[in-house]
Every structure is written in C-alpha cells, then in structure tokens.
C-alpha cells in the first residue's frame, strides 16, 4: 500500500478495485485520476440554495410511528354514533383494498370513537379528550385532515413518508435538507434522529436505520441517530489514557491515509468517511454539552411533563429536540413508536397520548416563548390512518382498527404556517376524502418550500436520471401557509 503511488491507476490494490463501483470507475476513467476535491467536504452547502427567502431555518418532525387513529384524536365524526355496529356500506368502501389482517373478516362493523370531543382555542378546533395539553396550543396548529398515502403497510408507508418512494433506497427528506442547505453548526450533524418507545405497543413497529439514510446522496448527509438508552452516542468519550490531543493526532494520520486512498480510488465514500471522523471528533465536545440538561430550570422541565428526566422517553427527546434546534441543527426527527393499534385501541391509545400529549405541547410552548417557533417548522403525524371499522370484536369499551391510507390527520406549526386552520374534509365515516386532498408529495413540497427550497430544483443525478424528493409530483399546500 505505501509504495503505491496515488497518481498511478495500475497500482491500485486489487481489494480497492473490488470495492470500486462501476459509476466511480467510469467517472474516474473519464476525468482522470485523483479528481475528487476534498475542500468541499466539511460544512458543505449547495451554493444555489435557498431558492427563495426561507420561512423556516429548521424542521422538527415528530413522527408518530405506527399510525395514530385520526377519528379517535382529531377528526370528529359525531354522526358515526348512529351507525355503531352496523356494516360499513359498500357505497363508502367502494371496493377499496384492505390489509390481509382484516380481509378475512366476515363483517366490518363501524366502531365510532368512544372518546369525548370538544372545541378548543379561538379557532374552535375539535380535539379528543385524550389530548388535553395539545388543546391549549391548537391556535398555533394547522390541521390537515385529508392526508393520504399510497401504501397500506407500515414499512412501505413510512419509507414513502421518509423518502418519497415506497421502495427503500432513495435519500430521506432530512438527507435532502442536509445535502441542500448544509448545517449552520459544524459541531453537530445537520440531520439528527431521536427514537422513543411508546407504552401503546412497545415493540411495534420496528424502525430501520435506512429510514434516515442518504440513499444515493453522499453518505455524510445521512441522519445520525442518538440512542434512546445509555449514552446517546456510543464511544464518544476517549478511552482511558487517551486525551483529546492524542485523538486529534491519530485522526490527522488516519485522514491523511484516507486522503491518499481517496485520491487513488476516487470513491466518494472515503470522502464521506473522512467527514464522519471529523464530525465525530467535534461531537465529542458538542454532544455532552447538548445532552446535559442539568441546567434546565424546573419550570421548563415541567412543561415537558414528568417523564422528561427519563432518557429514551418521548418527553426527553422533545426537550433534546429543542436543544438541537437552538444549536442550529437543520432537520431534527423524532420517531415515537407504539401507535399500531389493531386491537385494544382504547387502552393503547390512552398510553400513547399520555406519552406524547404534554411533551408535544410543551415543546411548542417552549419554542414559542424563546421566539424559535418563528423559524422552526414542526410537523406531527404518522405514516397512515386507521379504519373506521373494527378489527376483531366490537364491544362497548373495546375495539381495534386496521391500517387506513385513504385519509388521516397530521398537523404543522411554526415557521410560515398559519395557526388555527383546519384543511380538508373527510366523509361521515372518516373513510374517503370529500374536499382538499393532500398527498405525501404535497407535504414534502411544502416542507421544502418553507425551508426556502423549490422542490422542483433540488435534484441529484443518479444512474442517468435526475431525482428529486417529490419524484414527479408535489403541490405546495398554500392554504396552511401564512
């Protein structure tokens, strides 16, 4: 290795050749050897962005993984009580597909929500009794009651929300943002992911790291997940006997070796590796300060509810999200698991709401009093909705709901979002959209728009085709933009 000249193609070790992708090989052959420049690696940002003055400088996406039930939380359907236990009419279902979990069911009895609804705020938004804290911030929220998606099962659906495609492999929305807008803070990743387990169904649904992957974008733009138990980032502290200077010297040497290899092979993954090592080194200093909440005053902690001191809870991640936002992180994504309530929905939903209601409302209130809500976009939502008919037996106290992609509710708040509005309307069965449908691509286009990015213009060429997050669709949801 040491005697292989970095400028000689023939001297590349066989092992390197094996890992050389066809694309890299062709690029290198065409443009000569050692073409990749290293200077653009750190704090990278697209020169041509933003396309217009942004409303939001950062996003906090509160992903409710597993799909919360829209008609038990937001989409109030009082007339459904009349149809209790009756069959879902064919005129409503219209032969639409259902999942294999209920397709064997002989009957599809309608299960109206057993939870009480009331109007809140000046906007008079209807909310379930399960969300008493959210009720206090409704005037800051824009509800979209007519979200719909193309996927009917969790993985394709969450992949669709994350990447704009049901098939895994495309860059995630946070990666697009990190790639397009870069980071204001060199010491933290531009895209940070925090996960938490819910009390509803602790183990459902699993989350894969590829959900925040960078796809074909350079790897340093992938989301960095902070662990929800123990150290948020593993191996962050130096081993005994190694101080920061030593680590620095070691990294300098490793980087020098990597540069040699990079010039020889031209694989962009090596450049990504160098960038990641550097980021990790800086995070050794920045993360302990970030995750140390000992200086947070008690009244602030109280905003987020009693679980805020327990690492790995949704409350703890919400507080961390605010601290990340304050430190200029571009895209902060929380995933709270446990919303997949096929059976025993009332009990499980109560648990999930207890986990999330107060921390969510606390986060919004905390962002607001600090003036951060002005340039932070907050999005709350799952990957699809749930069915109006019960899965399993319907009793007066219990029911379950299957996956329903045809309509569900999400909300947005903060930068550039008009608070106190409710967009769209579903039918009396909360099954079909009556007015103003909003597609996943539309949501993506809107998030990008608020971040100052034209979703038609943020593109990346891969395998001979220009790709974008919104594929070949996407309309900005103008009614919710202030």
Partner 1 sequence: MPIATPPSVPEIVLFLGRFHPLLVHLPIGFLCLLGLLEALARFPRLKPLAHGRGVILGLTLAAAAFTAACGLMLAQAGGYDAALLQSHQWAGIAVAVGCLLASFTHWRGLTRAYYGSLIVTLAVLAVASHYGGSITHGRDYLTQYAPEPIRELLGEETAPAPAKVAVVEEAVVFTQVVQPILKAKCAGCHNADKLKGGLRVDTLEALLQGGQSGPVIEKGDAAKSRLVNYLHLPVTDDKHMPPAGKPQPTGDEMAVLAWWIDAGAPADKTVAELKPPARVTRALETMFGTAEPDMPPQKLADLQPGIEKLSAELSVSIAPLSQTEPWLACNASLNTNFGDAELAKLAPLKSNLRWLDLGGTKITDAGLAPVSELRNLTRLHLERTAVTDAGLACVAKLRNLEYLNLYGTATSDAGLQQLRRLAKLQKLYLWQTKVTPDAAKAFAADITDKQQLHRWRQEIEDIKAKIRTATLDINVGAQLPPAPAQVAAKPVNDKCPVTGKPVDLAKTVTHEGKVIAFCCDKCVACFQQNPKPLLAKLNLTPINAKCPVTGKDVDPAKTVSHEGKVIGFCCDKCVACFKQDPKPILTKLNLQAIATK
Binding interface with partner 1 (CB under 8 A): 45, 48-54, 184-185, 187, 327-328, 369-371, 374, 452
Nearer to partner 1, 221 or 441 (CB): 221
Nearer to partner 1, 129 or 184 (CB): 184
Query: What is the CB neighbour count within 10 angstroms for residue 267?
Result: 21
Instruction: Name the token pair of 114.
Output: 């057993």
Please, what is the minimum distance in Å from the beta carbon of residue 395 to partner 1?
22
Question: What DSSP string describes 358-381?
Answer: HHHHHHHHHHHHTT-TTTEEEEEE
Instruction: Report which secondary-structure segment, H or E, holds 192.
Output: strand 191-196
Nearer to partner 1, 246 or 369 (CB): 369
Please, what is the minimum distance in Å from the beta carbon of residue 458 to partner 1?
12
Please, what is the minimum distance in Å from the beta carbon of residue 167 to partner 1?
32
Nearer to partner 1, 71 or 177 (CB): 177
CA distance 64 to 410: 10
Among residues 260, 183, 271, the alpha carbon closest in space to that of 219 is found at 271
CA distances from 464 to 163, 460, 467 (A): 19, 10, 9
CA distance 415 to 325: 13
Please, what is the minimum distance in Å from the beta carbon of residue 374 to partner 1?
6
Nearer to partner 1, 194 or 451 (CB): 451
CA distance 318 to 333: 10
Please, what is the minimum distance in Å from the beta carbon of residue 373 to partner 1?
10
Please, what is the minimum distance in Å from the beta carbon of residue 433 to partner 1?
26
Sign of the C-alpha dihedral computed for residues 396, 399, 404 and 410 taken in this order = positive
Please, what is the minimum distance in Å from the beta carbon of residue 370 to partner 1?
6
Nearer to partner 1, 414 or 437 (CB): 414
CA distance 286 to 447: 28
Cβ pair 387, 407 in contact under 8 A: no
Please, what is the minimum distance in Å from the beta carbon of residue 332 to partner 1?
15
Cβ pair 331, 61 in contact under 8 A: yes
Sign of the C-alpha dihedral computed for residues 359, 364, 368 and 372 taken in this order = positive
Residue with tokens 């996003």: 59
Question: What DSSP string describes 429-471?
Answer: TS-SEEE--EEHHHHHHHHHHHTT--TTT--EEETTEEE-TTT
Please, what is the minimum distance in Å from the beta carbon of residue 255 to partner 1?
20
Nearer to partner 1, 210 or 282 (CB): 282
Please, what is the minimum distance in Å from the beta carbon of residue 210 to partner 1?
30
CA distances from 377 to 61, 73, 372, 374, 433 (A): 8, 22, 9, 8, 26
In this structure, the strands spanning 465-467 and 460-462 are antiparallel
The length of the chain is 482
Among residues 311, 232, 316, 215, the alpha carbon closest in space to that of 272 is found at 215
Instruction: Name the token pair of 410.
Output: 């999400």
SS3 262: helix
SS3 190: coil
Please, what is the minimum distance in Å from the beta carbon of residue 54 to partner 1?
7
């Amino acid at each position: 290795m040491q005697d292989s000249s970095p400028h000689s193609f023939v001297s590349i070790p066989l092992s390197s050749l094996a890992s050389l992708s066809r694309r890299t090989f062709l690029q290198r052959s065409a443009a000569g050897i050692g073409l990749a420049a290293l200077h653009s690696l750190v704090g990278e940002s697209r020169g041509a962005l933003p396309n217009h003055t942004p409303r939001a400088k950062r996003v906090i996406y509160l992903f409710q993984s597993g799909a919360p039930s829209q008609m038990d939380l937001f989409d109030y359907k009082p007339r459904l009580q009349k149809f209790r236990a009756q069959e879902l009419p064919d005129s409503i279902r219209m032969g639409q597909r259902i999942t294999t979990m209920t397709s064997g069911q002989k009957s599809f009895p309608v299960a109206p929500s057993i939870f009480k609804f009331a109007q809140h705020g000046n906007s008079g938004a209807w909310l379930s009794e399960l969300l008493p804290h959210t009720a206090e911030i409704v005037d800051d929220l824009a509800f979209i009651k007519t979200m719909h998606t193309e996927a009917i099962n969790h993985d394709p659906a969450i992949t669709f929300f994350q990447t704009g495609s049901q098939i895994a492999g495309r860059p995630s929305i946070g990666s697009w943002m990190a790639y397009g807008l870069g980071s204001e803070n060199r010491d933290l990743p531009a895209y940070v992911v925090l996960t938490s387990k819910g009390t509803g169904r602790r183990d459902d649904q699993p989350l894969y790291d590829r959900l925040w992957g960078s796809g074909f974008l350079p790897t340093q733009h992938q989301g960095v997940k902070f662990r929800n138990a123990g150290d948020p980032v593993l191996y962050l502290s130096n081993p005994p006997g190694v101080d920061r200077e030593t680590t620095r010297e070691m990294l300098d040497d490793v980087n020098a070796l990597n540069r040699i290899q990079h010039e020889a092979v031209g694989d962009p993954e090596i450049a990504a590796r160098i960038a990641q090592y550097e980021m990790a080194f800086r995070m050794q200093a920045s993360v302990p300060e970030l995750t140390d909440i000992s200086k947070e005053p008690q009244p602030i902690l109280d905003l987020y509810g009693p679980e805020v001191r327990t690492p790995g809870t949704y409350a703890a991640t919400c507080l961390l999200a605010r601290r990340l936002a304050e430190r200029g992180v571009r895209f902060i994504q929380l995933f709270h698991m446990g919303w997949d309530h096929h059976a025993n929905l009332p009990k499980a939903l109560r648990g999930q709401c207890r986990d999330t209601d107060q921390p969510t409302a606390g986060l919004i209130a905390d962002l607001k009093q600090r003036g951060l809500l002005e340039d932070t976009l907050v999005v709350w939502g799952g990957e699809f909705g749930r069915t109006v008919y019960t899965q399993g037996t319907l009793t007066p106290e219990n029911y379950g709901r299957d996956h329903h992609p045809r309509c569900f509710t999400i909300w947005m708040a903060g930068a550039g979002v008009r608070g106190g509005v409710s967009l769209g309307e579903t039918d009396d069965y909360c099954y079909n959209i009556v007015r103003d449908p909003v597609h996943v691509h539309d949501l993506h286009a809107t998030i990008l728009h608020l971040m100052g990015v034209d979703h038609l213009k943020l593109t990346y060429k891969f395998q001979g085709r220009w790709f974008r997050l919104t594929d070949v669709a996407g309309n900005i949801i103008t009614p919710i933009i202030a």
